[in-house]
Each structure stands twice: as structure tokens, then as C-alpha cells.
Structure 1
Amino acid sequence: MHENIIAFILGIVEGLTEYLPVSSTGHLILVGSLLGFTGQKASTFEVIIQLGSMLAILVLYWKRYLSLLNFSTIGKPVKRLDAIHIILGVIPAAVAGLVLHDFIKNVLFSQNVVVVSLIAGAILMLFAEKKHRNFTANTVDELSYKQALVIGLFQCLAVIPGFSRSGSTISGGLLAGANHKAAAEFSFLVALPIMVGATGLDFVKSINFLHTSDIPMFAIGFITAFVVAMIVAVVFLKLIEKIGLNIFAYYRIVLAILFTVIVIL
């Protein structure tokens, strides 16, 4: 199969799965194996298309990110998402990622770990759907600092390949008292700084593997991931309160089975 077609397919996969609670890592490994696209070039390509997904969130929420620079309401009894919410939601996973980066890449980044994480994440999502009670935050502007921190702590689970950053943060949000939409939107907002740090570090380490001959392929994957991720993020926010997490949890279990049969066995 021509590399540009592979880039288009994987760009779609990345865009579809980065912000859904289904694990983009698991999907990229599975589809990459089916397409015979593996190795260092594939790893570098994954970094590039993740940048495309990140750009989608920046475009969708650039006004919200700019509003975070207004510190006048911090500490005042005004319900409004501010920079402290984002910091509390980002720091736990950022610290975990920095401390465990080499361990994650060298030890945890294995096919068996991905399968276990897919199932573990599914169990967490089913638990969150069953146990969540009355919501105290129906929008991101109603989130408390404590809820932001709880979501940030749950985001630490996402450093494990296959667990899903979106799945862990939305589950944490539900358990902390945020409704589905508020938890999902906050998950999107804290995604950008986390992904910039993680993907930026990987990009620096992968830069020597970039070649000018790969530019067309990488550009196709980047643009495709950007467009698809933007569409998925908008649609997901409109549907999440109606469909909940259970359907994604069951899908993850099926994916874990397929992953085992196709990739591991």
C-alpha cells in the first residue's frame, strides 16, 4: 500500500480516537500492524499526527485559552474557569510523565500492557457511570479547584499506554461530581498542555529520523488528523450526555480482544 494512503488512514484513526475514551495508542498500534507500518518511522509519524490533533483543540478553544490569561477573577466568588483549574488539572500527569517517561517508553510501552490498560480503563469507565451521583458542575465554569485536581490525578493513569487520557479524565470528572459534558470539555482543555509537553519531548527525540522525502506523507497525516479531530471533538461534546461512557467501555473490551488476536498472537 502506498505510504500516502497509509498516512491518510492513520490520520483518520488518530483524529477519531485521540479525544474519544477509547485509546488512540491502541488503535494506532493495531491499525499500523494491519497495514505493516511499524518501526521508528511509524513512531515518528505518530508524533506528527498527534500534533495535528493538538492543533484542532487549539483552534476550537483559542478564545477560552486566551481568557485564562485574565487573572482578575482568581480567588473571587465568581464561577469561572481560570488558569488555576488548568494548572491543577495538568500538574499531576505532567510530573508523572516527566518522572516516568523513560520507564514508560522502555518498559510499559508493550502490547501486553496496552491490552491490560484497555480493559482496566473500560472497568473504570463502567464504575464511574454506575457510581456517579448528583452533579455539582454542569459546565466547566462551575468546576471547583478540588474537582479540577481530582480530574488531574485521574489523568495520571493516562501515562500508561492504552489507558486513554480522555477515558481516565472523564471518569475522574464523573466521580468528582462533574457532568459528562463538563468533564469532557475540561478533558479537552487540559489535553493541550499535557500533549504539548509529552509530544514535544518525543518530537525532539525523533527529529533525527525526519527526512525531507517524508514530508508529503507526514503532511497528509497531520492535516487529516487535524480535520477529523476537530469534527470528532465537536460531535462528541454534543453526544456524550446522551450516550455516556458505557458504550465506549464495551468497545474497549472488544478492541482488547481484537488486539490480542491480531497483534499479539
Structure 2
Amino acid sequence: MADWLIGIIMGIVEGLTEFLPVSSTGHLILTAEILNFQDDPRASIFEVVIQLGSILAVVVVFWKRLWSIVGVKTEGYKSSRLNVLHIILGGIPAIVVGLLLHDWIKANLFSMETVLVSLVAGGILMIAAEVLPKGPKIESLDDMTYKQAFTIGLFQVLALWPGFSRSGSTMSGGMFAGVSRKTAAEFSFILAVPMMVGASGLDIVKNLDKLSTADLTLFASGFVTAFIVAMFAIFGFLKLLESVKLTTFAIYRFILAIAFYIVFIM
């Protein structure tokens, strides 16, 4: 299959799933299996590059909020109580665990079997976040406490297991901590910027020897496609959360795991 076509297909999958609670990494691994791309030496670094395309979409969509977090006043965000400390507290747990277990995770958790297990496990967590009784929820990022940000960060550690879903784990953690579904999603998007830029940057540095100008078509098509699709996905998902619960996405995860188990493992 032509590089540009692989780039577009994988970019679409990344852009659609990065911010949905269904696991973009899991979908990329499963899609690579279908395209017979999983053993390509460029596969791992390619997935990192297209994730940066999705992150660029977050920066474009939330640029005013991101400026306000670092103290720069913009129209609509002249005073924001959500600040850098919230982001630091939300990111510390995954950063610490990720640095300690990075190589082990890469070596042991990036298979189809482990992804299918985590799809199911993450779905169970999301259902629990919806059905277990909880108190009143905050409806704005500006009302989020430092404790809530740190609790979300603890749940984000689960996303180091490919297939668990970063947005699914952080949204579930937010709901357990007393944050509304939509507000938890918004914080998840914003938290993704430093987390994924840092993780992607580390992977790129470690894999510089795999980058080549000959692969520009693959990387460029994937990056641009992921960016464009992610822009639409962010707006669509936030609108969808007004009427759809995480349970719906959990059921999708179960169906996907069962389908791939039957087709590729049984």
C-alpha cells in the first residue's frame, strides 16, 4: 500500500480517536495490524508524529484558555482560576510512572492481546464512573480544585497501558472527583498538550535514526490528516457529551475487543 494512503488512513484513525474515550493507541495498533504496517520499522515513530498533529488541533481550539493558564489575558479569559499548578498536579503522576516504566511498557504492553484486555478494563472503569453514586459536580474549569486536578492525574497513569485511553481514564477520574463529564473532557484535552508533547518529544529523540526525508510523504500525510480530523472531532465530542454518557463508548470498546479477538486471535 502506498505511503500516502497509509498516512491518510492512520491519520484519520488518530484524529478521530485521540480525544474520544476509546484509545487512539489501541486503534492505531489494531489498524496497523489490518494494514500490515505493524512490523514496519517506521511504525512506532510515525504514530508519535501523527499524535503531534492531534495535539496541534487542541492548541488551535483552546488557544485562549492555554494563554490564560500561563497568565496572558485574552478576550473571554481575562481572569482564569485554572492555572499552571493544576496542569502540573495533573501531569506529575503519569510523568513519574512513565519515566520509570517507559521501556518496560514499550516492550510488554504494545501487543494486540494487551490492547484488547485494556479496552475491556477501560470500558468497565468508564461505566463505573457513570453509575456509581457521587456528589454534586463542578461545571467549569475555573472551579476545579488542586485536589481534583491531582486525582485526575492519578487516573491518567492508567493510560500508560495502551488501549486504556488517556481521555477515558482522565474523564472517569474527573467524574469520580466531582467534575462534570464535559468539564473533565476539557481538562483532559488541555492536560494532553504538555503530556503528549513531552512523551512524543522523548520518543522522537530516541528514534531520530529512523527519520528520513524519503519518508516525508508518509509522515506529512499522517500529520496533516490527524490535525484536520482532530479539529472536527474535538468540537463534535464536546457537543456529543451533552447527551451521550461514557457508557456508550464503553459498549463500543467491548464490541471492538470481541470483534478483533474473534478475527485475529481465535
Report TM bin, short chain: over 0.9
1:9-35 residue CA offsets vs partner (Å, 9 max, x unmatched) = 110000000000001111111111111
Residue number in structure 1 paired with 2:69:
68
Residue number in structure 1 paired with 2:76:
none
Partner amino acid for 2:21?
A: P
Residue number in structure 2 paired with 1:75:
none
Residue number in structure 1 paired with 2:82:
81
- Supply the distance in 2 between the matched residues of 1:244 and 1:56 (Cα, whole angstroms): 24
Residue number in structure 2 paired with 1:243:
244
Moved over 3 A (4+): 262-265
The Cα shift of 1:71 comes to 9.5
Residue 27 in structure 1 maps to residue 27 in structure 2? yes
The Cα shift of 1:88 comes to 0.9
- Supply the distance in 2 between the matched residues of 1:118 and 1:139 (Cα, whole angstroms): 29
- Supply the distance in 1 between the matched residues of 2:63 and 2:264 (Cα, whole angstroms): 39
Give the 3 Å change call, closer, same or farther, for CA 163–4 of structure 1 in structure 2: same
- Supply the distance in 1 between the matched residues of 2:145 and 2:222 (Cα, whole angstroms): 38
Residue 119 in structure 1 maps to residue 123 in structure 2? no
- Supply the distance in 1 between the matched residues of 2:204 and 2:110 (Cα, whole angstroms): 17
- Supply the distance in 1 between the matched residues of 2:135 and 2:203 (Cα, whole angstroms): 40
Q: How does 1:170-209 map onto structure 2 within 5 Å?
A: 170-209=171-210
Identity over aligned residues, as a percent? 56
Greater shift after overlay, 17-26 or 131-140?
Answer: 131-140
Any conservation in 2 of the 1:125–1:167 contact (CA below 8 Å)? Answer: yes
Residue 18 in structure 1 maps to residue 18 in structure 2? yes
Structure 2: runs of 5+ lacking an equivalent? 74-78
Once superposed, what is the RMSD of the aligned Cα atoms? Answer: 1.7
Please report the TM-score for the alignment, with normalisation by the length of structure 2.
0.93
The Cα shift of 1:79 comes to 7.3
Please report the TM-score for the alignment, with normalisation by the length of structure 1.
0.94
Structure 1: runs of 5+ lacking an equivalent? 73-77
Aligned length: 260
- Supply the distance in 1 between the matched residues of 2:211 and 2:255 (Cα, whole angstroms): 35
Any conservation in 1 of the 2:3–2:217 contact (CA below 8 Å)? Answer: no
The Cα shift of 1:247 comes to 0.7
Give the 3 Å change call, closer, same or farther, for CA 132–11 of structure 1 in structure 2: farther
Partner amino acid for 2:87?
A: I
The Cα shift of 1:37 comes to 1.3
- Supply the distance in 2 between the matched residues of 1:147 and 1:246 (Cα, whole angstroms): 22
- Supply the distance in 1 between the matched residues of 2:80 and 2:193 (Cα, whole angstroms): 23
